[in-house]
Structure 1
Amino acid sequence: MFGKANGVQVKTPEQIALMREAGRVVARALDTLRAAVRPGVSTLDLDAMAEKVIRDAGATPSFKGYHGFTGSICASVNEEVVHGIPRADRVLAEGDVVSIDCGAVLNGWHGDSAITVAVGEARPEDLRMMEVCEESMWRGIAELRPGRRLGDIGHAIDHYISSNGGYGNVREYGGHGIGTEMHMEPHVLNHGRRGKGLRLVEGMCLAIEPMATLGREDVVQLDDGWTVVTRDGKRAAHFEHSVAITAEGPLVLTARESDRDKISSMGFVQPDR
């Protein structure tokens, strides 16, 4: 069983450990995909690789079949922000950027994480946008401590994005609670006011996922009912981690080995390998 605080699922340390197992599966899948991204690979190729890693671990892709979604990952290229449907004819080219969102459920518990990867030689402006977006995620994660407020997370993300190059900060989409379901309360905005909103308590688990753009923040959904693109056609980046709030600080449940130094430098709880 699990508790609730203000309508939000609260997990025990044992349940958080189970979520870390699901998070490890997602981390392995994303590591596999990062290594596979190159010109000539289709987003459907990446989808098949991810599904194999997830199922080989005894887990199930969270996304596949979710409200009719056909992929095991979301693969969003260039001006596509989120929810891109993997396709055989969506072939990566030199200089593209691809955002890959991946989820897995293991023993009834979900993990959810996203990365943006450059294809081949990246444009400097894309790399800088990606760096700012990823760092804004870490700034948001740093606010996941008992007693702080939901608005503190959004404020930290928005302030970092807006003060480091003036990138667009997509507002229509954001993070969410996670646990026995992939998307749970609360909705975690990527903007907000400090000291406002839901009070965070130990045992809450949230997915923190900023989306930054090279142009304006306005987005539109395509006719496929899923893919969200920038209205001005400028490129976008998307990063996400699932995180547990503990008495000692944030615990990144979907941490990859490459995150260990960052987690250490920010003073977060170091996840087991």
Structure 2
Amino acid sequence: MILSRNDKCWCGSGQKYKKCHMNFDEKLKELKQQGYEVPTRDMIKNNEQIEGIRKSAKINNGLLDLISENIREGMSTEEINTLAHEYTVSNGGIPADLNYDGFPKSICTSINDEVCHGIPNQDIILKNGDIINVDATTILNEYFSDASRMFQIGEVSEEARRIVDVVKECLYKGIEAIKPWKSSLGDIAAAVQEHAESNGYSVVREFGGHGVGLHIHEEPFVSHFGKRGTGMILVPGMVFTIEPMINGGSHEIFIDEDNGWTAFTADGALSAQWEHTILVTEDGIEIISK
């Protein structure tokens, strides 16, 4: 679509093109001519959409805070699910995971060697020494936010504590790699991979971050292993998750054949994950959901 200066901007802001994304498009065109991969227009959020995602994230962050205050030894993962579901609904939100492609619960609870997509169950009881990832996605007024946190139950081993710490460091290494108009998705991937591997861990290949905001999963895919200077350039208005999953042993995984969802480490080693929703801004980033 070719727009004149006084046409309404393609982003849906209602502003004239010249006052909204005209200069933005000129920058993208120049980068594309230089051979860089650039985002498509549907990957760019306008101010109204960003504010909607922030409001959704307020609920998502609140439910993870609530879980942080209540999670304990002897608690079932179904109790965690109920806590999250009731909080989300009582605050006007919708648990995005519930019934997504048939997923049966409102959150994911992944323990020890479970890499992701663990399904809450009243018979799964948290034990002293467990580590658990709780992954929550919330819809509010059709806007999505997404984040996950690791929790340590009781007295955990040094091995368990260390992998939880290092994966969070990997997340922030990825975030620090974001330089608007200069860095790429490959820079995020390399930063995560380098830190994980320098600490003796491996990075899960099959899963990664993703665009989010208007849908639960959008483009682009955000890999956590790769080469610097490759992939799509990161520009203001992009909203996506960074959610590295690292394993204590091999990066190889398998999916539970019985439930079709839960991923496990192939060698039984521990796995850990942290996830934030990130907005790229003109001068850096904003962590929207964490």
Match for 1:67: what amino acid? Answer: D
**Residue 45 of structure 2 corresponds to which residue in structure 1?**
11
Match for 2:117: what amino acid? Answer: H
User: For the residues of structure 1 that align with 2:152 and 2:95, how far apart are their CA atoms?
Assistant: 24
Find the partner of 1:152 among 187, 202, 205. Answer: 187
After TM superposition, the structure 1 = structure 2 runs for residues 36-185 of structure 1, keeping only pairs within 5 Å, are 36-147=70-181, 148-163=183-198, 165-185=199-219
**Residue 287 of structure 2 corresponds to which residue in structure 1?**
252
Q: Secondary structure of 2:69's match?
A: helix
* Count of residues paired in the alignment: 254
User: For the residues of structure 1 that align with 2:164 and 2:112, how far apart are their CA atoms?
Assistant: 12
Q: Unaligned stretches of 5+ in structure 2? A: 1-9, 13-37
Match for 1:152: what amino acid? Answer: D
Give how far 1:31 is off: 1.0
User: For the residues of structure 1 that align with 2:206 and 2:106, how far apart are their CA atoms?
Assistant: 23
Match for 2:265: what amino acid? Answer: T
Asked if the contact 1:10/1:204 (under 8 Å) is kept, the reply is: yes
User: For the residues of structure 2 that align with 1:17 and 1:218, how far apart are their CA atoms?
Assistant: 38
Q: Unaligned stretches of 5+ in structure 1? A: 256-273
**Residue 256 of structure 2 corresponds to which residue in structure 1?**
222
| TM-score for both structures, normalised by structure 1 | 0.90
Q: Which runs of 4+ in 1 moved over 3 A?
A: 1-5
Asked if the contact 1:8/1:186 (under 8 Å) is kept, the reply is: no
User: For the residues of structure 2 that align with 1:124 and 1:207, how far apart are their CA atoms?
Assistant: 28
Q: Secondary structure of 2:289's match?
A: coil
Find the partner of 1:233 among 246, 249, 268. Answer: 268
| TM-score for both structures, normalised by structure 2 | 0.85
Q: Which segment drifts farther, 246-255 or 226-235?
A: 246-255
Asked if the contact 1:168/1:215 (under 8 Å) is kept, the reply is: yes
Give how far 1:7 is off: 5.9
User: For the residues of structure 2 that align with 1:2 and 1:133, how far apart are their CA atoms?
Assistant: 35
Query: CA-to-partner distance for each residue in 1:161-209, whole Å, 9 max, x for gaps?
Result: 111x211211111100101001001111001111111111110001000
User: For the residues of structure 1 that align with 2:210 and 2:228, how far apart are their CA atoms?
Assistant: 18
Give how far 1:222 is off: 0.5
Query: CA-to-partner distance for each residue in 1:233-257, whole Å, 9 max, x for gaps?
Result: 11111100001000121100014xx
**Residue 31 of structure 1 corresponds to which residue in structure 2?**
65
Q: Secondary structure of 2:154's match?
A: coil
**How much identity, in percent, do the aligned residues show?**
35
Q: Secondary structure of 2:139's match?
A: strand
